[in-house]
């Protein structure tokens, strides 16, 4: 997004002149920073009849928060690590996988507590919270580049470095004028983004409908009839009708289906093993392959030969989130000697009985709901077994109609793709506009400066003086009362 780039230019050009009345300060100087904590789940009284908002990453999304999903009891303020922050704080996520691409930030207009993956800054008097939240969001790319910790399992930010980022600060009245203008302009941009996202979702639904119906012969008004399929140990649901001459088959009847390799960490140094690239679940998306990051694995040479992918192999996911079951696409020989991991199935059509495109389209439409019904769910992951995926019902048209059928479906897909591209272009344009707007806001070009405003330098000097003279009160804790066994008080 361009707003991130705009933030970079705001924060990293200390030699440039500032607009009239502006001054520089670090994020640390603009407010008091607080961390969070989670009241013990083993203390149900902390969570029963809660009235105090408890903010966690799942609540983030709105620029101005309207509430939290979880509430805690007042007792948790005394006997757990959480702190109650005053209304008007700015909260941000500092530990989450989402920090690979963005920093969720929000203005919180109500009293709130935080969980341990959050930080918040309560702005000092003279710093407008809405302005500060927008500024931090504009600094997103800079924050990710400078403050993201390397080598951690879950992406996280080094908050001490974040707080030392220096930014330009306008006078308080101008901060408020900036917020008012941003509210007005961003409302128009967000309306355009909402329309573009709706169009994008509609184009994706249309594409899936085209490929799903087309693979079953339901495009262009073809007459359809019920077709039989031999019963098996699977929940097939209602099978679509097919054109005359088509038939239903099980995937295992028309394709050689194989699971992939399981990584054996203990044998990765075996000199008799060969190193080959392999596909993971992340590489196999619905309707496309993502090959920008390919990992390698060492396996026995015979295993590498047995699992080597060939043109036309249809790849289907075995596990992951439930909506990922059975999703996949066609291998076209993009990487030499590539194999696949155990969480990805390979379906190789036997004797060219079915065009791989028809199989992939069908698996990504009908197969999505079928795998959902026939898969298994553990606490964290869903999966479908090799035995089950071989039972996937597949429509098989006569060979002589398949080539023309593929052309028809592809022509409709191209129309949906054109609408999809237009929607993506509209989203990109909205992002550009948002970036330009934020850049103008934080370089003094969005609203006029007023010489009558108290200069930010005076404001910042006052904040610094107050910080030096302030004594932070110790946090009061009420000790939990404990009574030795056998000395419990009797009722009076």
> What residue spans define the domains of the chain?
2-170, 230-396
- State pLDDT tens for residues 184-224: 999 999 999 999 999 999 998 998 899 999 999 998 778 99
- Per-residue confidence at 483, pLDDT binned at 50, 70, 90? very low
- State pLDDT tens for residues 329-360: 999 999 999 999 999 999 999 999 999 999 99
- State pLDDT tens for residues 142-192: 999 999 987 667 889 999 999 999 999 999 999 999 999 999 999 999 999
Q: Exposed, middle or buried: residue 138 (CB in 10 Å: 0-12, 13-18, 19+)?
A: buried
Residue whose pair of structure tokens reads 């079951």 in the numeric block? 325
**Mean pLDDT, residues 391-413:** 95
Does this model's pTM top 0.75? no
48 compared with 271, residue with greater pLDDT: 48
Give the dihedral sign, CA 229/235/236/238: positive
- Per-residue confidence at 306, pLDDT binned at 50, 70, 90? very high
DSSP secondary-structure letter at 481? P
Length in residues, the chain:
492
Q: Exposed, middle or buried: residue 470 (CB in 10 Å: 0-12, 13-18, 19+)?
A: exposed
CATH of 2-170 given 3.40.50.1970, 3.90.220.20, 3.40.640.10, 3.30.1130.10:
3.90.220.20
Chain centroid to CA 207: 23
Contact 304, 337 (CB under 8 A): yes
- Per-residue confidence at 491, pLDDT binned at 50, 70, 90? very low
Element (H, E) at 297: strand 295-300
Q: How far apart are CA 175 and CA 168, in angstroms?
A: 11
What's the half-sphere exposure (Cβ side, CA atoms, 13 Å) at 178?
28
How confident is the model at residue 391, as a pLDDT? 97
Alpha-carbon dihedral of residues 326, 330, 334, 337, nearest 10 degrees?
70
Residue whose pair of structure tokens reads 């110790």 in the numeric block? 474
Domain covering 230-396: architecture = Alpha-Beta Complex (3.90)
Q: How far apart are CA 455 and CA 452, in angstroms?
A: 9
Other beta carbons within 10 angstroms of residue 54's beta carbon come to 24
Mean pLDDT, the chain, rounded, equals: 89
């Amino acid at each position: 997004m361009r707003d991130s780039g705009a933030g970079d230019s705001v924060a990293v050009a200390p030699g440039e002149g500032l607009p009239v009345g502006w001054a520089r300060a670090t994020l640390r100087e603009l407010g008091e920073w607080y961390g969070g904590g989670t009241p013990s789940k083993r203390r149900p009284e902390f969570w029963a009849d809660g009235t105090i908002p408890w903010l966690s990453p799942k609540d983030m999304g709105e620029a101005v928060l309207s509430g939290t999903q979880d509430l805690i009891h007042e007792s948790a303020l005394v006997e757990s690590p959480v702190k109650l922050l005053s209304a008007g704080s700015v909260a941000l996520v500092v530990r989450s996988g989402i920090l690979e691409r963005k920093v969720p930030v929000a203005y919180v207009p109500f009293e709130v507590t935080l969980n341990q993956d959050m930080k918040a800054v309560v702005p000092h008097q003279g710093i407008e919270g809405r302005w500060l939240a927008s500024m931090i969001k504009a600094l997103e790319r800079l924050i990710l580049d400078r403050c993201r910790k390397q080598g951690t399992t879950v992406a996280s930010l080094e908050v001490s470095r974040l707080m030392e980022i220096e930014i330009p600060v306008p006078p308080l009245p101008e901060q408020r004028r900036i917020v008012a203008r941003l509210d007005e302009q961003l409302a128009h941009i967000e309306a355009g983004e909402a329309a573009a996202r709706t169009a994008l979702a509609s184009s994706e639904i249309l594409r899936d409908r085209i490929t799903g119906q087309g693979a079953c012969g339901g495009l262009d008004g073809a007459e359809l009839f019920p077709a039989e399929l031999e019963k098996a140990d699977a929940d097939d649901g209602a099978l679509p009708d097919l054109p005359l001459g088509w038939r239903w088959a099980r995937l295992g009847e028309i394709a050689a289906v194989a699971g992939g390799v399981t990584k054996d960490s203990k044998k990765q140094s075996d000199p008799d093993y060969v190193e080959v690239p392999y596909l993971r679940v992340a590489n196999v998306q619905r309707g496309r392959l993502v090959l920008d990051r390919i990992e390698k694995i060492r396996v026995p040479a015979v295993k590498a030969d047995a699992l080597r992918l060939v043109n036309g192999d249809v790849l289907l996911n075995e596990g992951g989130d439930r909506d990922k079951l059975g999703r996949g696409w066609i291998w076209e020989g993009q990487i030499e000697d590539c194999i696949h991991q155990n969480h990805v199935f390979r379906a190789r059509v036997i004797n060219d009985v079915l065009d791989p495109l028809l199989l992939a389209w069908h698996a990504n439409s009908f197969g999505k709901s079928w795998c959902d019904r026939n898969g298994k769910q553990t606490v964290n992951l869903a999966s479908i077994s090799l035995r089950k995926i071989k039972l996937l019902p597949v429509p098989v048209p006569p060979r002589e109609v398949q080539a023309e059928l593929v052309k028809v479906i592809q022509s409709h897909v191209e129309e949906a793709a054109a609408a999809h591209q237009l929607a993506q272009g509209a989203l990109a344009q909205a992002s550009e506009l948002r970036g330009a707007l934020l850049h103008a806001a934080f370089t003094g070009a969005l609203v006029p400066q007023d010489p009558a405003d108290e200069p930010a330098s005076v404001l910042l000097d006052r904040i610094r003086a107050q910080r030096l003279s302030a004594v932070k009160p110790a946090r009061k804790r009420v000790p939990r009362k404990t009574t030795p066994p056998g000395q419990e008080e009797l009722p009076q």
